[in-house]
Amino acid sequence: MSEVLRLPGLVDVHVHLREPGQTDKEDFDTGTRAALAGGFTTVLDMPNNALPITTPERLEEKIALAREKTMCDIGFHYGSLGDNLGTFAEGAKHAVGLKVYLNNTTGGYTLDPARLKEIYATWPRNQVVLLHTEEDTIDIAMASLEGLDRPVHICHMPSRAVLEKIIAAKQKGLPVTCGVTPNHLFITEEDVPRLGVYGMMKPPLKTKADQDFLWAHLDDIDIFESDHAPHTHEDKAAGAFGVPNLETTLPLLLKARAEGKLTLEQIIDKCFTKPSEIFGLPTDDATYIEVKMEPYVIHNAELQTKCGWSPWDGEEMPGRVQKVVLHGATVYENGEFPTAANPARVLTPFDS
Ligand code: NCD
Ligand code: ZN
Query: DSSP code of 43?
Result: E
| Atom 5 of ligand 1, nearest CA residue | 242
Our answer on whether the CB atom of 106 is closer than 6 Å to any ligand 1 atom is yes
Closest ligand relative to 134 C-alpha: 1
Our answer on whether the CB atom of 188 is closer than 6 Å to any ligand 1 atom is no
Average pLDDT per block of 10 residues along the chain, 352 residues long: 95 98 98 98 98 98 96 98 97 97 94 95 97 98 97 98 98 98 98 98 98 98 98 98 98 98 98 98 97 98 98 98 98 92 84 44
d(CA 272, CA 91): 25
d(CA 275, CA 49): 23
- Report how far apart, in Å, the C-alpha atoms of 311 and of each of 198, 250, 271, 300 are: 6, 15, 21, 9
C-alpha 50 – ligand 1 centre gap (Å): 13
C-alpha 222 – ligand 1 centre gap (Å): 20
Residue 349 contacts residue 279 (beta carbons within 8 Å): yes
Task: Indicate the length of the chain as a whole number.
Answer: 352
d(CA 98, CA 96): 7
Our answer on whether the CB atom of 257 is closer than 6 Å to any ligand 1 atom is no
Coil, helix or strand for 209?
helix
- Edge-first strand listing for the sheet containing 176-180: 10-15, 40-45, 73-79, 97-101, 129-132, 152-154, 176-180, 223-224
Our answer on whether the CB atom of 251 is closer than 6 Å to any ligand 1 atom is no
C-alpha 340 – ligand 2 centre gap (Å): 31
d(CA 96, CA 74): 10
- Nearest ligand 1 atom to the CA of 241 is 7
Our answer on whether the CB atom of 202 is closer than 6 Å to any ligand 1 atom is yes
266-296 pLDDT, tens digit each: 999 999 999 999 999 999 999 999 999 999 9
| Atom 11 of ligand 1, nearest CA residue | 227
Torsion of CA 58, 33, 44, 139, to 10 degrees: -110
In sequence order, the β-bridge partners of residue 4 are 292
331-341 pLDDT, tens digit each: 999 999 997 78
d(CA 153, CA 189): 25
C-alpha 107 – ligand 1 centre gap (Å): 9
d(CA 32, CA 74): 9
Find all residues with CB under 8 Å of 277, minimum gap 6, and list them: none
C-alpha 341 – ligand 1 centre gap (Å): 32
The pair phi, psi for residue 63, each rounded to 5°, is -65, -40
Q: Domains in the chain and their CATH numbers? A: 3-351 (3.20.20.140)
The pLDDT value given to residue 349? 63
Residue 55 contacts residue 23 (beta carbons within 8 Å): no
d(CA 4, CA 35): 19
Pocket test for ligand 1, best of 18, 46, 77, 227 (most atoms within 8 A of CB): 227
Pocket test for ligand 1, best of 241, 243, 245 (most atoms within 8 A of CB): 241
Residue 73: half-sphere exposure toward Cβ, Cα within 13 Å: 26
- CB-count burial class (<10 Å; 0-12, 13-18, 19+) for 166: buried
Please report which helix (H) or strand (E) contains residue 276, including its range.
helix 274-278
Our answer on whether the CB atom of 309 is closer than 6 Å to any ligand 1 atom is no
The sign of the torsion formed by the CA atoms of 263, 265, 266, 270 equals positive
d(CA 21, CA 27): 9
Our answer on whether the CB atom of 306 is closer than 6 Å to any ligand 1 atom is no
Closest ligand relative to 241 C-alpha: 1
| Atom 9 of ligand 1, nearest CA residue | 106
The pLDDT value given to residue 348? 76
- Nearest ligand 1 atom to the CA of 155 is 11
